[in-house]
Structure 1
Amino acid sequence: MHLLLSIITTFALMAWPLMVMMSPMMLAAPGAVDNKAAVLSVMLFLLFPVGIFILFGLFGINYLGINSFLLAKISAVVVCIVFVVFGYSSLFINMIKGVPNSGYAVVNNTVYFSGTVISGADPDSFITYDSKDYENEHSTSLYA
């Protein structure tokens, strides 16, 4: 039974690099990087190897003779590196701060463009355009 479970798990883990490679496409739609549910779903989707190894560890199953909790730690480090390299961690941090990840915004008397601070910008005189004023125009947040 453990052999069959190891084979199925191996095939599932072989698909993970492909999912990492295609994960930016999950946030390619207009406004998707500002959608909390979309960003969190991408991050949770990429965490599935960690979940698999934690479940194995809870049930006392070793994967290919290696401690599953050790593999969970290793895969968590790899997933965190992927989050940093692909920029998902900064998208998540900006969501927590309330800063949009695309376009211009004024949050807490600080002017941002695509989640980064614009130094020297005056937040009191800064005006952003709203897409509601321009019928289905997705690029209005790029102008201020």
Structure 2
Amino acid sequence: MSYSTKALALFGVLPLVLKQFAPGDVVLWYLFSTIISLQSIVDFGFRQTFLRVISYAFGGAKDIELFGSNQKEKTDEELEPNIALLTDIVSTMKYIYVRLTLVVYINEHIRNLGFYKTCERCSQSNSGLDLLDNCYFGLMY
């Protein structure tokens, strides 16, 4: 998202959400907005690269060999979209994003398992400070 959209969400939407919704709904809204924000971090820049390659394919490129160079194909004719190349690009996108999703999903489950195990250990502690320290440690690792 652009910075102006983020600023609008912060200064325009947030006061409305805080005023109109119950605390539980606000927490849910924060959760969804955090997940959406993290999506761009987890993407690792693949979105921009795939958009550029898809644009080349729609422009009629025969392959993506010229993608890394500044050379252009010399042609006076209008080219049709390269459907075969688009199909290859979409299948590559599916391959990468499925594996990326699995890695993130497994990583989050391992982190959550560690957090719950740490909190189980914390709940057996008598001291409130130990509980807070151990749960913080569980969140970090």
What TM-score, normalized to structure 1? 0.33
The structure carrying a bigger helix percent of its residues is: 2
- Higher normalized strand content (fraction of residues): 1
Larger Rg: 2
